[in-house]
Amino acid sequence: MRRRVSILGATGSVGQNTVGLLLAQGGAETYQVVALTGSGNVALLAEQARALSAEVAVTADPGRLAELEAALAGSAIRAAAGPAALVEAAARPVDWAMSAIVGAAGLAPGLALARHGGVLALANKESMVCAGELMRRTCAAHGTRLLPADSEHSAIFQVLRGESAGEVERVILTASGGPFRDWPARRMAEVTPKQARAHPNWDMGERISIDSATMFNKALEVIEARELFGLRPEQIEVVVHPQSVVHSMVEFRDGSIVAQLGPSDMRAVIGFALNWPERRALPVPRLDLARLGRLDFSPADPERFPALRLAGQVLELGGLAGTVFNAAKEAALGAFLIHAIGFLDMAVLVEHVLESLGPEAAACGSGYDLDAVMALDAEARRLGGLWVEAFSGK
């Protein structure tokens, strides 16, 4: 029987790699593709849906439905649009799903995927940052296996296979440091969105690339690691490793540090989750360590990259502090992209919103529902917007 699969965010960087792997592993002959989703890139979504004979293709943008219908004309693929249709498509039963929408928009459909009882490959780190406890609770209630599809967390997951969680002393997340790794803060103040988009090692979507430049991406990953692996704040360390070859490490209580190494290619990470618990040959470049010659490590600098310091505050606050952090970060990034605020202002905005809403978020504790998350998300974005207005009016 063919394995039933869905991909949310199929038209994005992770989504396209996932579609490519499905095609490389037999496409529609091997997989019964249930739902593919995208947003603005309707032409690519229709092309993917045809290539994989998907049952349904959904664009998040209700204004693009006619375009999607036209692109799918003559096929048996059903077209749908809008956030509700996205959740409905995600709720269709599957054995394996990829959650790769960018941002908090991935949370509600990701939760629908968590109710399938199959494997949920999670690239949308924001789901764990905003509502990690809700995601874990939902997966546990439905017997869903959550597999990280983020290179650092996949590395930790791979290292922990066959190990006992109680023997972990700490995890060491590696960070490339982004394009401004060695820049002084005063130079970073002038950085433009175009400069921030250029990641030295990974080919990724725009938002995660800029988040890598500010190290907000690493901050999200610190919170994600806590949620995925049940770690205490002091058990998570970030180390700068410019080559992005060691994807992360775990130190055990006997002093051994075990690392996972691989190419900077998301197909390796996605392929691991797709084929788990087996390992299959993947179309990825191989590492030649002798040619590489050296691997460098240095401490991360929370002064020049305040996102890391703020992640520490989120861990200490607990509750829904991650929701506030992520929403404020998304508001800040949106303002930076339209040149309303500067590169360094993004962290100032996030710190301001976290100061305002942190205690309320912390008080949410655990046992919260999606409505509570979305309400706090909206409030954090509102405060972020006010900060930008005040900033612009200066």
Stretch that binds ligand NDP, among 3-11, 139-147, 171-179, 236-244 (CB under 6 A): 3-11
Cα gap 339→210, rounded to integer Å: 13
The residue of the chain with the least Cβ separation from ligand NDP equals 12
Per CB under 6 A, 9 contacts ligand NDP: yes
DSSP 8-class letter at 286: P
Per CB under 6 A, 125 contacts ligand NDP: yes
Q: In whole angstroms, how close is the CB of 255 to ligand NDP at the nearest point?
A: 30
Cα gap 166→31, rounded to integer Å: 37
Nearer to ligand NDP, 82 or 117 (CB): 82
| Near ligand NDP in 31-60, by CB under 6 A | 38-41, 60
Helical residues (DSSP H) of the chain, grouped into ranges: 13-24, 42-51, 65-71, 83-90, 107-113, 125-142, 151-160, 185-188, 193-197, 206-214, 216-229, 266-275, 289-292, 306-317, 321-337, 345-363, 370-392
Q: Which of 97, 196, 204, 246 binds ligand NDP (CB under 6 A)?
A: 204
Euclidean distance between the first and the last CA atom of the chain, given in angstroms as a whole number: 63
Retrieve residue 211's tokens: 């988040």
Nearer to ligand NDP, 40 or 63 (CB): 40
Nearer to ligand NDP, 327 or 352 (CB): 327
Cα gap 15→98, rounded to integer Å: 8
| Near ligand NDP in 141-170, by CB under 6 A | 150
Q: In whole angstroms, how close is the CB of 225 to ligand NDP at the nearest point?
A: 13
Angle at 90 between CA 87 and CA 94, to 5 degrees: 160
Q: Which of 54, 102, 171, 250 binds ligand NDP (CB under 6 A)?
A: 102
Cα gap 271→232, rounded to integer Å: 29
Q: In whole angstroms, how close is the CB of 206 to ligand NDP at the nearest point?
A: 6
Nearer to ligand NDP, 133 or 265 (CB): 265
Per-residue mark of binding to ligand NDP, 77-96 (x: CB under 6 A): ---------x----------
Per CB under 6 A, 349 contacts ligand NDP: no
| 331 residue type, one letter | A
Nearer to ligand NDP, 41 or 260 (CB): 41
Nearer to ligand NDP, 191 or 266 (CB): 266
Give the burial string for 22-41 (b: 16+ CB within 10 Å, else e).
beebeeeeebbbbbbbbbeb
Nearer to ligand NDP, 223 or 356 (CB): 223
Cα gap 392→10, rounded to integer Å: 36
Per CB under 6 A, 208 contacts ligand NDP: yes
Residue reference for tokens 């249930």:
34
Per CB under 6 A, 334 contacts ligand NDP: no
Give the alpha-carbon dihedral of 87, 227, 177, 314, to 10 degrees: 100
Q: Which residues bind ligand NDP (CB under 6 A)?
A: 9-15, 38-41, 60, 86, 100-102, 105, 123-126, 150, 202, 204-208, 266
